[in-house]
Structure 1
Amino acid sequence: MLRILITNDDGIEALGIKRLAEALLTLEDTEIYIVAPQEEKSGVGHGVTFRSALEPQKHDFYGLPVKAWAINGNPADCIKAAYHLLFEDDQKPDLVFSGINVGTNLGRDIYYSGTCSGAREAVILGVPGIALSYDNWFDQDNYGEVVQMIQPLVKDFTEKALKGELPQQVFWNVNIPHVPLDEVKGIVPASLSLNHYVDKYNQEGAGYFLMREYPAVMPLAEPLDYDLLKNGYIAITPVHIDATDRSLLKQMDEWSFVKSSGKREG
C-alpha cells in the first residue's frame, strides 16, 4: 500500500487540489492524505512558521475517500507538520504531490512558488516530491481535462516510487498546458526558462503592484519549460535541491582570500 500525501498553495478549498486527488484516486493500492493551507498561500516561497503554533484541523474533503487536514501555515509547514505530527514513525508518506496550482510555475518561479516548496520540503525530509501547475491563470475555474492529462504521469511516478527508482534530493516540477487532451503534444523533459518574463511595478494610488511582462513564445531551439508549455507540451523539470556550484567551489581554492590552511586535501 502506497501512502500519498497531497498539498498545495491555493488552499484546501481550491479546485486544483480536488482534481489532483481525483487523479490519484484512480490508482490501485494507495492511501491518500491531504494536508493543505487553510487559505491561499501563493508566492510564499519556502517560508516556515516559527512564531506561532500550527493547529492541524481535520477537514471534510468534498466527500472523497481521503483523510484531510487544514493547517494555518504555508505549504512547507503542511508537509513538515504532516511528516512529524500526523504520521507514525513507521508509516511515513511514500510520495508527495503538490498542486494542481492555478497558473504555471516556470523558470525562476520555483523559488517563489508555494507549490514547489511543498514538493521541495518533501525531498528535504527524504520523500520524493512532485509539483504540478496548470496554465489556466486567466481561466481559473476551468481545469478542463487535466485529470486525464496527468493520469499516466502520476501512475508512472507512483510506480517508480514503489520500485525506489526516484532519485534523492530532486523534486519534479510539472507544468501542464491549458488545451484539450487531444492537443497535448507529449510529456517531455525541460530545462528552466530563467528569463522568460520581466518584472515591473504598476502604480495604483499610493502603492505599487508587482506585474510581469512576457515576451513572444520562442521557437523550440532549446528544451525550455516556458516555450515547451506554450507549444502544447507537458514540461517536466528535475530540480536538485543542492544548489552548490561545485565547479566554482574548486576554483575558489585559487582565490586570494582563501588561506592555504583552509584548502581541501586531495
Structure 2
Amino acid sequence: MKKILLTNDDGFDSKGLLVLKEALQDIAQVLVVAPASEKSACGHGLCLTKPLRFIKVDDDFYKLDDGSPTDCIYLALNAIYKDGQKPDLIISGINLGSNMGEDVTYSGTAAGAIEGVIQGIPSIAISQMLKDKNLSNDFDFALAKKVIREIVLKIFDKSFPLGERKFLNINVPQISIKDFKGYKIAQKGYRLYANNAHLNRDPRGNEYYWLGLQPLAWKEREGIISDFSATKQGYVSITPITINMTSYEDMDLVQKWLEC
C-alpha cells in the first residue's frame, strides 16, 4: 500500500488536517506528524535551539512539541520511518486560508512541501481559501477533499509530474462542488501588501505590536493567469513551484554590471 506523510502549519487539531487524513486514509497508509500549536507564517525554519518531542495522539498520528512543519517532516523521515523506508508522497495542509503569490515564502504549509522535496519525496501544499478561518470548524471542505483525492489518485496511477526540488501548490476557492469550474495551471501571482502592524499598550503601559491579517490583494498582469485570478474565477489553481530561486535571466546582467 502507498504511504503518505501529512503535516500542516495550523496545528495537529486543525479541521483542515483532520479532513485531509479522512479523505486519504482509504487509499494509502497515512502517517500524520503535525505541530503541537499553530505555526502559521513560520516559513521554512528548523528548530536548532531547543529539544523537540513526539507526542502520540493516535495510531500513526503524532504532534511535535514544539516543532514547525519543517521540523515535522525532517524528524518524521529520520526518526519514524525505519530501515530505509520513506513515504511515496508528502502533503502539507489543508491550510486554513490561501497561500498564493509571495505568501508562499512566509507559509509554513509550503515549507512542509519544500522540506519534502529537499528530501527527495514528491510533495504537495494544499490550501483552502476562507473568508473567516475562525469559522473553519463549520466548513465542510467538500471541494478540497474531492480535489486532493483526485490529484493523489492521479499521482499513484500515473506519476508525479515534476522533477527534483519542485512541488505542487494547490489553492481551493471557497465555493461548492457544483460551482467548481475545474483546474487551472496558474502562475504564482504578485501579492500586494500593506502595513498592518497595530500598536497597543499592555496594562503596565508598555508598547507592543500585533501583526494583523493582510487583505487579499494582488497585481493583475495582462495575459497571465495567476493563482489569484484563477481562484477568483472559480477554478482550483495548481502552481508548480521550484525552490531554486536563482534568477538565471539576470546572471549575465550582473556579470556585466560587476565588470563595468
Report the TM range for the smaller structure's normalisation: 0.7 to 0.9
Give, in angstroms, the shift of residue 251 of structure 1: 3.3
Give, in angstroms, the shift of residue 196 of structure 1: 4.1
Equivalent residue, structure 2, for 1:63: none
Equivalent residue, structure 1, for 2:190: 194
TM-score (norm 2): 0.87
Distance in 1 between the 2:32 and 2:124 partners?
14
Distance in 1 between the 2:218 and 2:82 partners?
50
Distance in 2 between the 1:185 and 1:217 partners?
23
Please give the per-residue CA displacement for 1:21-43, whole angstroms capped at 9, x wherever unaligned: 1111242xx21111111111111
1:143 aligns with 2:140: yes
Residues 215 and 164 from structure 1, CA distance in 2 versus in 1: closer, same or farther, beyond 3 angstroms? closer
Among 181, 184, 196, the alignment partner of 1:185 is: 181
Among 50, 54, 61, the alignment partner of 1:68 is: 61
Distance in 2 between the 1:70 and 1:147 partners?
22
Among 152, 163, 170, the alignment partner of 2:166 is: 170
Task: Judge conservation of contact 2:43–2:106 (CA < 8 Å) in 1.
Answer: yes
Give, in angstroms, the shift of residue 91 of structure 1: 0.9
Equivalent residue, structure 2, for 1:88: 82
Give, in angstroms, the shift of residue 113 of structure 1: 0.5
* Identity in percent: 33
Task: Judge conservation of contact 1:179–1:232 (CA < 8 Å) in 2.
Answer: yes
RMSD, aligned CA: 2.3
Residues 172 and 199 from structure 1, CA distance in 2 versus in 1: closer, same or farther, beyond 3 angstroms? farther
Give, in angstroms, the shift of residue 221 of structure 1: 4.6
Distance in 2 between the 1:56 and 1:17 partners?
17
Equivalent residue, structure 2, for 1:5: 5
Q: Secondary structure at the match of 1:213?
A: coil
Task: Name stretches of at least 5 consecutive residues in structure 2 with no aligned partner.
Answer: 202-206
User: Counterpart of 2:188 in structure 1: which amino acid?
Assistant: L
Give, in angstroms, the shift of residue 137 of structure 1: 4.5
Q: Secondary structure at the match of 2:188?
A: coil
Distance in 2 between the 1:122 and 1:235 partners?
21
User: Counterpart of 1:41 in structure 2: which amino acid?
Assistant: K
Distance in 1 between the 2:50 and 2:77 partners?
19
Equivalent residue, structure 2, for 1:249: 251
Give, in angstroms, the shift of residue 183 of structure 1: 0.5
TM-score (norm 1): 0.85
Equivalent residue, structure 2, for 1:106: 100
Give, in angstroms, the shift of residue 95 of structure 1: 0.7
1:116 aligns with 2:117: no
